[in-house]
């Protein structure tokens, strides 16, 4: 909801205030929002609130001719709150202590009685000042309701259209999930392990073990990377060749007859798998893969051998591939699972699509322009183009405060309105051209609010329960405020004698702080020492300061010792002078030490923070008292505020007594 209100304010540039602070009828309440019966860290606010409300009686107060219920309290707090509790949410207030809630109920009852009293004296919604305020507030209510009921939907539709555009642009990449094929493999290697014996060469091994002298180019190192033992670069002279050594382990290609046997075994195993044999059991028993990986199920990746890729593509469902021949051996693959490539729908990814700040701004600007164009056309907004084209508002026929620049029926937007609205932008009529002035009027808060108000009425938003409750709440506030204002105006102004008497009774409010001129000599102590060592260091510092104290007879003596002995870097060069300061400048403990001294005396050594010190009271400066004449404006304000508060409290008590109010909790 707060976000909606912020967007509304952005839409029409109108400051939207909630009716939660009241308006004069409850200056303050006793007590504070407490945790009695409130939320605990392990308990949700909603759960705690439900329990709290369940403990309250349905009827919170009765009076002659009526009652105030728990339901009325909850409903009223949604619309307005006592001023002293304005910063708290309705839930927090309802979850407060009984003492706080009693004051809240009293405030609402007082407001109710004042409203009734005001109406009997002819103060109601038809009173001119109240009528004007209600009309102004009505625009704000319509503004918000129109945003929530109409414009927010238009904005959301425009945002969704842009999101769908982005979805279509990125659908094939960002929102397409590639299919996954999971495989198991029986691998029969085309190589065998061989350990080099003393005196053998790579060529001899190729001829004898592989049956092919050319196999020297295909012999591999038996290590995790299986690099060629004889690098292809040897043939071109790019790298040197180092002959094999005894004990070196190699992978040597199989002979032709051995390969034929391996291929036959591969075909046999494939046939067994197709016939129903457990593929993973066959792999565990016959595969030449490392034992720990024989039953492994893995994903088909795009960087796998092309022979494997083709065989899997040609297979169907969860079938078994043909025997695949590769430079490394024979592969039989079983498709364990396969999911097809899937494009996610817009609904599936909607919450993941984020509009850029530029998109958001463009959508809002477009929606704002469309709104203005649509409503200005519907309600026949007329611009005074002759006046707007004038670069100089002065001249022989100057623009006056009441010169209209735009109008809708009996509504007028004047030159005075323009000057008031353009002021925060640090612009002026002369500093803008015709197009800029016209553009400014098209975004004028006052004009847009009038258009929205007319459209809201046309849509029947006056019948909306929110409109009715908020306008009723505003009416109650304005009527009671007007009654209190008139009552204050009728009060006789205080006489000088009354103000002087009040001033003398409250001299403490007009008396400054007593000040003192102090000097210090300090010895620093390491407070991180063990207890015994720290205490010994403190006592040693006190002894040193007592010795110094016994030798001081004058202020000059104190200055000399401070320069030589004090550890206080800030004051040492000034002869220990702290300065002229309030007695409370270092807290209560320090003030207590000052209070023990007369002018010219030196304190006993005492610990302050990480320093043991002595201080000299060189001078006392009495607390200054502001004279009655100087304080008169402040005295008058404070006196009138106090009298107003007392008058309201007394009036509330009398009304409660007259109405025989009885709280039920």
pLDDT > 70? residue 460: yes
User: Has residue 201 got a pLDDT over 90?
Assistant: yes
Residue 653 has pLDDT above 70, yes or no: yes
State the Cα–Cα distance between residues 518 and 580, nearest whole angstrom. Answer: 7
Residue 18: band (very low, low, confident or very high) from pLDDT cuts 50, 70, 90: very low
Confidence (pLDDT) at 198: 94
The pLDDT tens digits for 288-316 are 999 999 999 999 988 888 888 889 888 87
| pLDDT top residue among 223 and 418 | 418
Confidence of residue 8 (pLDDT cuts 50, 70, 90): very low
pLDDT number for residue 34? 30
Place 338 in a pLDDT band, splitting at 50, 70 and 90. confident
User: Does the pLDDT of residue 404 top 70, yes or no?
Assistant: yes
pLDDT > 70 in the chain, percent: 93
Among 264-278, 387-401, 592-606, the minimum mean pLDDT is found in: 387-401
What does the H/E/C string look like for 245-271? CCCCEEEEECCHHHHHHHHHHHHHHHH
Q: Of residues 33 and 458, which shows the higher confidence score?
A: 458
The pLDDT tens digits of the residues spanning 227-276 come to 889 988 888 888 888 999 999 999 999 999 999 999 999 999 999 999 99
Q: How far apart are CA 639 and CA 633, in angstroms?
A: 10
pLDDT for 62: 96
- The β-bridge relationship of strands 220-221 and 180-189 is unpaired
Q: Residue 10: what pLDDT?
A: 34
Per the model's pLDDT, the better-predicted residue between 578 and 508 turns out to be 578
CA dist 642 and 210 (Å) reads 111
Distance CA 605, CA 523 (A): 10
Task: Look up the pTM and report it.
Answer: 0.61
Q: What is the mean pLDDT of residues 473-481?
A: 95
Beta carbons of 90 and 18 less than 8 angstroms apart: no
Average pLDDT over residues 195-206: 93
Q: Percent of the chain having pLDDT more than 90?
A: 77
- Structure-model confidence comparison of residues 5 and 435, the more confident one: 435
Nearest to 470 by CA among 132, 83, 20: 20
* pLDDT for res 45: 65
Tokens of 174: 């960002």
pLDDT at residue 501, rounded to an integer = 94
Stretch 80-96: mean pLDDT = 90
Compute the distance between CA of residue 463 and CA of residue 228 in angstroms, rounded to an integer. 87
DSSP string computed for 55-91: HS-SEEEEETTEEEEHHHHHHHHTT---GGGTTS-HH
- Eight-class DSSP state of 443: T
Q: Which of 142, 73, 111 is nearest to 134 (CA)?
A: 142
CA distance 90 to 418: 39
Q: Is the pLDDT of residue 560 over 50?
A: yes
Distance set, CA 474 to CA 27, 125, 653 (Å): 17, 10, 25
Stronger pLDDT, 23 or 294, i.e. the higher one: 294
Measured distance CA(453)–CA(137) in Å, rounded:
11
Report the range of poorest mean pLDDT among 39-48, 354-363, 431-440, 498-507: 39-48
pLDDT band at 38 (very low <50, low <70, confident <90, very high): very low
Predicted local confidence at residue 240, as pLDDT: 87
What pLDDT score does 49 carry?
80
Q: Which residues are bridge partners to 523 per DSSP?
A: 612
pLDDT in tens, 110-143: 999 999 999 999 999 999 999 999 999 999 999 9
367-379 tens-digit pLDDT? 999 999 999 999 9
Burial 290-316 (b: 16+ CB within 10 A, else e): eeeebeeeeebeeeeeeebeebbeebe
Residue 83 has pLDDT above 90, yes or no: no
Tell me the average pLDDT across 325-338.
Answer: 93
Q: What are phi and psi of 296, to 5 degrees?
A: -70, 140
Domains and CATH numbers, the chain: 179-340 (3.10.50.40), 512-621 (3.10.50.40)
Q: Band the pLDDT of 397: cuts 50, 70, 90.
A: confident
């Amino acid at each position: 909801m707060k976000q909606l209100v912020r967007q509304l304010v952005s839409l029409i540039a109108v400051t939207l205030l909630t009716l939660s602070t009241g308006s004069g009828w409850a200056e303050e309440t006793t007590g504070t929002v407490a945790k009695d019966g409130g939320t605990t860290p392990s308990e949700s606010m909603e759960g705690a609130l439900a329990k709290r409300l369940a403990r309250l009686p349905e009827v919170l107060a009765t009076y002659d001719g009526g009652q105030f219920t728990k339901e009325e309290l909850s409903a009223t707090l949604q619309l307005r709150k006592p001023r002293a509790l304005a910063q708290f949410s309705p839930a927090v207030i309802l979850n407060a202590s009984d003492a706080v809630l009693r004051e809240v109920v009293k405030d609402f009852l007082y407001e109710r009685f004042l409203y009734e009293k005001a109406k009997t004296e002819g103060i109601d919604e038809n009173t001119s000042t109240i009528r004007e305020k209600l009309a102004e507030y009505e625009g704000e209510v319509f503004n918000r309701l129109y945003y929530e009921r109409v414009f927010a939907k238009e904005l959301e539709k425009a945002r969704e259209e842009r999101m769908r555009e982005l979805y279509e642009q990125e659908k094939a990449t960002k929102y397409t999930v590639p299919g996954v094929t999971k495989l198991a493999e029986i691998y029969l290697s085309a190589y065998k392990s061989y350990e080099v014996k003393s005196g053998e060469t790579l060529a001899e091994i190729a001829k004898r073990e592989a049956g092919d002298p050319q196999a020297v180019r295909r012999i591999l190192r038996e290590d995790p990377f299986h690099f060629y033992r004889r690098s292809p670069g040897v043939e071109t002279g790019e790298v040197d060749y180092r002959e094999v050594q005894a004990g070196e382990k190699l992978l040597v290609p199989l002979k032709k007859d051995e390969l034929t046997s391996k291929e036959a075994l591969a075909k046999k195993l494939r046939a067994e798998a197709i016939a129903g044999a457990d593929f993973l059991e066959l792999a565990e028993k016959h595969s030449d893969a490392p034992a720990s990986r024989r039953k492994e199920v893995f994903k088909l990746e795009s960087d796998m051998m092309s022979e494997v890729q083709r065989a899997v593509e040609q297979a169907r469902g969860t079938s078994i591939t043909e025997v695949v021949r590769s430079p490394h051996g024979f592969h039989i693959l079983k498709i364990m699972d396969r999911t097809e490539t899937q494009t996610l729908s817009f609904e599936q990814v909607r919450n993941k699509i984020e509009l850029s700040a530029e998109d958001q701004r463009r959508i809002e600007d477009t929606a704002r322009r469309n709104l203005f164009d649509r409503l200005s056309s519907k309600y026949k907004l007329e611009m005074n183009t002759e006046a707007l084209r004038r670069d100089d508002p002065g001249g022989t026929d100057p623009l006056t405060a009441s010169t209209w620049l735009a109008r809708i029926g009996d509504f007028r937007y004047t030159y005075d309105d323009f000057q008031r609205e353009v002021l925060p932008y640090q612009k002026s009529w002369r500093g803008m051209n015709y197009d800029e002035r016209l553009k400014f009027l098209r975004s004028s808060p006052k004009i847009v609010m009038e258009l929205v108000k007319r459209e809201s009425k046309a849509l029947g938003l006056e019948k909306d329960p929110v409109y009715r409750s908020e306008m009723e709440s505003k009416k109650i506030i304005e009527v009671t405020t007007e009654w209190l204002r008139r009552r204050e105006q009728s009060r006789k102004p205080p006489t000088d004698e009354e103000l002087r008497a009040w001033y003398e009774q409250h001299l403490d409010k007009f008396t400054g702080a007593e000040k003192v001129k102090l000097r210090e000599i300090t010895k620093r102590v390491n407070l991180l020492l063990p207890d015994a060592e720290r205490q010994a260091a403190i006592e040693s510092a006190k002894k040193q300061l007592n010795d110094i104290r016994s030798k001081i007879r004058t202020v000059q003596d104190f200055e000399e010792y401070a320069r030589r002995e004090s550890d206080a870097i800030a004051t040492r060069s000034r002869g220990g002078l702290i300065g002229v300061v309030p007695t409370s400048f270092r807290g209560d403990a320090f003030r207590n030490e000052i209070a023990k001294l007369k002018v010219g005396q030196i304190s006993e050594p005492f610990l302050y923070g990480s320093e043991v010190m002595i201080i000299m009271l060189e001078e006392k400066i009495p607390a200054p008292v502001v004279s009655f004449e100087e304080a008169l404006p402040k005295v008058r304000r404070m006196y009138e505020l106090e009298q107003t508060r007392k008058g309201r409290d007394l009036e509330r008590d009398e009304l409660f007594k007259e109405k025989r109010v009885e709280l039920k909790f």
